[in-house]
Structure formats: structure tokens, C-alpha cells
Amino acid sequence: MAFKLILTACVFALARAQSVPSLVVPETGVSAFPFDLSQVSLSNSRWEDNQNRTLNYLKFVDVERLLYNFRATHKLSTKGAKANGGWDAPNFPFRSHAQGHYLTGWAHCYAVLRDPTCRDRATYFVAELAKCQANNAAAGFGAGYLSGFPESEFAALEAGKLSNGNVPYYALHKTMAGLLDVWRIMGDNKAKEVLLALAGWVDGRTAKLSSSDMQRMLGTEFGGMNDVLANVYQLTGDKRWLVLAQRFDHTAVFDPLASNQDRLNGLHANTQVPKWIGAAREYKATGNKRYLDIARNAWSMTVNAHTYAIGGNSQAEHFRPPNAISQYLKTDTAEQCNTYNMLKLTRDLWAVDPDRTEYFDFYERALLNHLLGAQNPADNHGHITYFTPLNPGGRRGVGPAWGGGTWSTDYDSFWCCQGTALETNTKLMDSIYWHKDSTLYVNLFISSVLNWTQRNVTIAQSTTYPVSGTTSLRVTGNGEFTMRIRIPAWTTGASISVNGQKVSIEVKPGSYATLQRAWKSGDTVTIQLPMTLKTVAANDDPSVAAVAYGPVILSGNYGSTSLSSTPTLALDSIRRSGNGGLAFTATAAGKSVNLGPFYEAHGFNYNVYWKVSGRLPAVI
């Protein structure tokens, strides 16, 4: 045991020493910083359960199968591995789009747990990708090319002649993002080499295009090419990558956003959000405020006019007219990837404006009500749904192929949302705490331990939130610093005490409560955020609403009964049942129905949006 511990410590020291890169080009405009993933660990909770299930899959999945398309395309032996199905099948247009997410998932796993299996999988995979790249001359590809489909797809794209639904830069972006993470999170220099060679290939390919040909090509989904390349610029200091990143600025989408016009109706939603994340990154890389305007306007528009009560957006993958919510409560609402990307955008924008709690009010709403429950808790490999149905009597885990709520599988899905969920569920701790100098931000209420090495302090948060509205933070170590605690807009009567004594600081909903002290080991902060029932009306129809208790969207349990229309819920009939849990009863369409947290609505038909009548009870 002792030997093993020492060995782990050495490997850790070695990997760190090996050069986790730091930014050569500092960020403009950022005034709060995330902790390294290795500094925050989840404690026992539903959150950790989700992480464990996803990690089981990441450590189980056959790496040779994941390499199949890369090897076959680059004319190397596939080593007897079986080909995958779903979106990674050898004839699927944008096969090999998923693997970048596995790289990121393994890197997260290594960062959080120092898990050697995850580390070895990531480094092996990168080394095998390097071999594919090294065989380009023999395969007839340009130097640096790396993909699971041939380079000729890019020629077809440039000529506007893609006939098979391929989105080659979308797939390429994901490979690049995975390599970037293995480089920046694990310090793997091979990942850097492969990434820069691939970026060089992209530069060579796109430098030849006129700007109008380039813009026309950007009409096809291309992920966050501007984002990953701006990151490469900041990590290398080489302007070439900034110029290349900006070549992927999509004028037709950026121009209206810069002038705050909502032209999202009809656009494929998840094609857009990664570009906005790229805009936020380009702002941080250049200081050009127009990029920030684009990202902020896109965020406000999407959150305020295109988002369901659970924090997800889009129907059949597309944005609908502004505020059109009630007409689009279907089986294919709330694509999971979009929310994964909106959360990235949210944290990027909050870091620029860390006084604004609405960013983390949204973050909490979407993480809790959409993403947490999109994973199947009954599945040891943490499989997920692509959409989260919001139709009356919807159900997770059923539906036509990927077009409904059905669960992903080990080898026959590889949808975009399966990939992004590997990331989501391995970085659940990445936004709980933030810091700036001697200020600690507490943004989310999730049981966890922060090792604030910069100040020799650990903070242990323990809570059953959102089942209870109370959370406590125990400080170990001494020193003077300020805690800024998010007081969500939905609460009233919040209070904060230290070591059992209520403190008289401002605790206004929708603001940060500021607690400055010379902390001593053992000091414990207790935060109480009283929860009440609220309705969340559809923007386009005040008579249609979801019901929330504090941050939690409640849904009705309809067992195996199907609903042919939206039931009418008598708001004044809602009662809390039992002993302080999140179980409620109510009367809807004249019948009794049990209400519970939507994130736990698994294995039965549910209802989220109701026709509402009457008023909520004053006291619950």
C-alpha cells in the first residue's frame, strides 16, 4: 500500500513536471478563474454516481475498436478489431467524430483521480493517432491530415458537392479538441505535436480559399474550429493559429448577433453554440469587444427566448421562433449537446462578469434538470439520451432510434450527445468553486472537497441539496480570504451563519453574499436557501407552465399511462408529502398525481409542462 502510494505520487509528480502548458498569450477581460480539476473532488452523491458510471464505460470501451476508422482510413492494419456501429460505422459520413470526446473524458479522469488506466488509454490513443498521421504519404493524404474518412471529403466540401451529409470540419474539430485536452490537462507532448500538425493541415487547406468560398463552406456544421484554434494560439503564442481561428468566424451568424438581432429561428442549434464559445475565446485571446458582444447576445437570446424550463433548448435539433415554447413540447426537445455547449459558454461569460449570478442560476438549472437526468441511473455504463422529451407523457429511454429518448449503447450509437456526455459526467466539479486572488467563489451546491493549494486551505462542502436547501462549508487551514456565495434569484429569506452564529451580511437573491474573515481551521459556514414552489410559464402562453421547487423542476409520474393532451394541474392542490424530501402530490385532470424531481423521472411516463389553473398554495 505504502509502496503503491509512493509510486502514484511519483507518477503524478512526473506527469506534472512533464509540462502542463500555461498560456503564452494571457486572457483579456477575465476576472475569475476555475480550479484545476485535480483540486476538486466530488463526495458521495448522485453526482458522483453519474461520474462513476461514465468512468466505468471509459475504462471498459475497447480502444482498438475506437481506432478502427482512423487506421483503416490511413491505410494501417486495424489489428483484427471489430468495426463500430451507429455514427462510427465505417460507412457513416462523419465517423470518427466521437473519439475526441473519449480523449477528453480520459484526460478528465486522470486529472480528477490520477487514474492510471485513463492516463494510459489517452497516451496510447494519441500515439496510435500519431502513427496514422505518419502514414499520410502512403495513404495519399497531405501532411498532418488525421481523420476516419478520406481527405477527398474536404475537396467535396470546398466544391459545395457533399452529397452524403458529411460535416468534415465538425468531426475534425472534435479530434482537435480531444488532443488539446490531452495536451493541456495531462501535459502529453505527443498530443501537442499531433494537434499542431493537424492544425497546419487545416491552415494549408483553408489558406487557398477566397474569403467568400470560405464563408460559403462555413454554412456547413464545423463545430468550434475558431475555439480550438484560438486556444492553440494562446498556448503557443503563434499568431498563425489566431489568423486561422478567425478564418472560421462565420459572418452570416456573427453579424446579426453583434447587433443583437435574434435570427436564430430555423438554424441548427448545436451548429451555432460552439461558434459562440469560439467568439468568447477569441475575445479573451484578442480583447476585441465585438466577440464578447456576439457571445453575450447569443447567450441572452438563447436563455431568455429559446430555452425550456429544464434549461435545454431546440426541437428536432433546431431553434424555433423566439419565445415559441408551448407549441414545441415534443419527443425530440432539448438536445443534450446544446446544453453541454451552453454551459461551456455560460462559464466563459461568467468569468468575464463574476458579479452576475444569473449565469450560474442558469448553469444550475440546466445541469440539474437537464444533464444530470439525461444519464440512465440504472445503467452501469452511464448511457444517455440524445433528446429529453417534453411532450405530455414523455419518457426517457424510449423512442425511435436516436430520434427520441432512447439510451445510447456501448458500440452502436456514438451520437454527438453520447460524446459530450462523456465530458459532462467527468467534469461535474469544474464549476463549483472559482477563485481570484484571495476571493473564493462558491457557485454550486454539490458535496465536494476543494484543495485550495494556493492558500493552503481545504474547503469541504457537504449537503443533500437540492433535497434540502442547506449546505455547509468547513474550512481546514488558516488565513484571511473572502468567500463570495451565490444567492440564487429563486430564493427568499436566505441566511448565512458561521460556526452557528448568523452573520449580518447582505444576502440578496440574485447576488453574491460576501464573507470576509480571518479563517481558522474548523470554521464552518452554513448557508440556508429556502425553497418555494413557483411556476415557470412558457414564454408564449402563460396558461402553460412547468412547476419548480427551488431550483428543481418537478414532473408528474404517470407510470405507463399515455397522455393524449396536456393535463390541467390544479396549482392549489399541490402538497408536499412525506418528510422533507422532494415528493409532492397534486390533482391534474381530476386525478391524483405524484410529483417529484424531473432529474429522477426514469422508468415511467412523465409530464413536465401543464395547463395550469388556480394559484399555488401560499405555504407548502
Ligand X SMILES: *[C@@H]1O[C@H](CO)[C@@H](O)[C@H](O)[C@H]1NC(C)=O
Q: Which positions lie near ligand X, rule CB under 6 A?
A: 44, 48-49, 52, 451, 453, 455-456, 458, 479
CB of 455 to ligand X, least distance (A): 4
- What's the rounded Cα separation, in Å, for the pair 537 and 232? 43
CA dist 239 to 186, 229, 231, 298, 407, Å?
Answer: 24, 10, 11, 27, 43
Q: CB atoms < 10 A from the CB of 319, how many? A: 23
CA dist 392 to 321, 399, 499, 552, Å?
Answer: 21, 14, 47, 19
CB burial readout 35-51, b (16+ within 10 A) else e: bebbbbbbeebbbbbbb
CB of 226 to ligand X, least distance (A): 34
Q: Which C-beta is closer to ligand X: that of 455 or that of 611?
A: 455
Q: Which C-beta is closer to ligand X: that of 107 or that of 309?
A: 107
Q: Which C-beta is closer to ligand X: that of 40 or that of 67?
A: 40
CB of 273 to ligand X, least distance (A): 31
Rounded to the nearest 5 percent, the helix, strand and coil shares of the chain are 40, 20, 40
CA dist 262 to 8, 9, 222, 291, Å?
Answer: 52, 52, 21, 16
- What's the rounded Cα separation, in Å, for the pair 170 and 191? 19
Nearest Cα residue to 410 out of 42, 1, 48, 60: 60
- β-pairing, 591-597 vs 552-557, is antiparallel
Q: Which C-beta is closer to ligand X: that of 53 or that of 347?
A: 53
Whether the CA torsion 413, 414, 420, 426 is positive or negative: it is positive
Residues whose CB falls within 8 Å of the CB of residue 155, separated by 6 or more in sequence, listed in order: none
CB of 451 to ligand X, least distance (A): 4
Q: Which C-beta is closer to ligand X: that of 479 or that of 509?
A: 479
DSSP string, 243-261: HHHHHT--HHHHHHHHTT-
CA dist 31 to 26, 276, 429, 443, 605, Å?
Answer: 12, 20, 20, 15, 44
Q: Which C-beta is closer to ligand X: that of 59 or that of 611?
A: 59
C-alpha cell at 272: 451555432
- What's the rounded Cα separation, in Å, for the pair 502 and 204? 63
CB of 58 to ligand X, least distance (A): 13
Q: Which C-beta is closer to ligand X: that of 48 or that of 523?
A: 48
CB of 12 to ligand X, least distance (A): 8
Q: Which C-beta is closer to ligand X: that of 518 or that of 619?
A: 518
CB of 569 to ligand X, least distance (A): 34
- What's the rounded Cα separation, in Å, for the pair 562 and 187? 52
CB of 193 to ligand X, least distance (A): 28
Report, in angstroms and rounded to the nearest whole number, the Rg of the chain calculated over CA atoms.
24
C-alpha cell at 232: 492553440
Q: Which C-beta is closer to ligand X: that of 255 or that of 600?
A: 600
CB of 15 to ligand X, least distance (A): 12
Residues whose CB falls within 8 Å of the CB of residue 79, separated by 6 or more in sequence, listed in order: 64, 67, 71
- What's the rounded Cα separation, in Å, for the pair 266 and 174? 24
CB 162 within 8 A of CB 149: no
Q: Which C-beta is closer to ligand X: that of 453 or that of 499?
A: 453
CB of 131 to ligand X, least distance (A): 33
Q: Which C-beta is closer to ligand X: that of 412 or that of 480?
A: 480
Q: Which C-beta is closer to ligand X: that of 48 or that of 540?
A: 48
Please name every residue paired with 97 in a beta bridge, in sequence order, or none if there are none: none
CB of 560 to ligand X, least distance (A): 29
- What's the rounded Cα separation, in Å, for the pair 26 and 14? 26
CB of 189 to ligand X, least distance (A): 22
CB of 453 to ligand X, least distance (A): 5
CA dist 203 to 100, 144, 156, 272, 511, Å?
Answer: 20, 10, 17, 22, 45
CB of 182 to ligand X, least distance (A): 21
CA dist 122 to 29, 55, 148, 232, 471, Å?
Answer: 33, 13, 18, 19, 36
Q: Which C-beta is closer to ligand X: that of 17 or that of 619?
A: 17
Q: Which C-beta is closer to ligand X: that of 48 or that of 213?
A: 48
CA dist 471 to 330, 349, 489, 600, Å?
Answer: 36, 26, 17, 21
Nearest Cα residue to 94 out of 174, 179, 182: 174
